[in-house]
Amino acid sequence: MKAINTTLQAAILAAAFLAGAPAMADHDGHGQQAMSVVADTADGEIKKVDKPSGKLTIKHGELKNLGMGAMTMVFRVKDAAMLDKVKAGDKVRFTVENANGAMTVTAIEVAK
């Protein structure tokens, strides 16, 4: 029975490796993010900075991974410090994650 057990263990290890492979092949160096999180990066223009509620209104270009065309919408920000980096009228390049339906800006920088 020992040989059979070893074969079974090898098969389980192979299956575990294959199941993990797609996460390691993630794009743009976001390999550490959970597989349930979808993210994309787009250009946009800040329309409003709402510090009290920690939200940004951004007119954004297409966010293909998130299934959105160009539009103006309100995003949450992951870190309140992001609200101090931008002001209405700024052209920005930003990354959005859809974490369980909550569109959250996880990175933002003013386009030069």
Could you identify the residue written with the tokens 């931008």?
Answer: 86
Phi, psi of 90 (to 5 degrees): -65, 140
Parallel, antiparallel or unpaired: strands 71-77 and 38-50: unpaired
For Cu ion, the closer of residues 40 and 49 by Cβ is 40
What does DSSP assign to residue 89? T
Q: Binding pattern to Cu ion, positions 81-100, x when CB under 5 A?
A: --------------------
Residue 68 touches Cu ion, criterion: CB under 5 A: yes
Residue 71 touches Cu ion, criterion: CB under 5 A: yes
Distance CA 77, CA 104 (A): 5
Residue 38 touches Cu ion, criterion: CB under 5 A: no
For Cu ion, the closer of residues 33 and 73 by Cβ is 73
Residues that bind Cu ion in the complex, under the rule CB under 5 A? 68, 71, 73
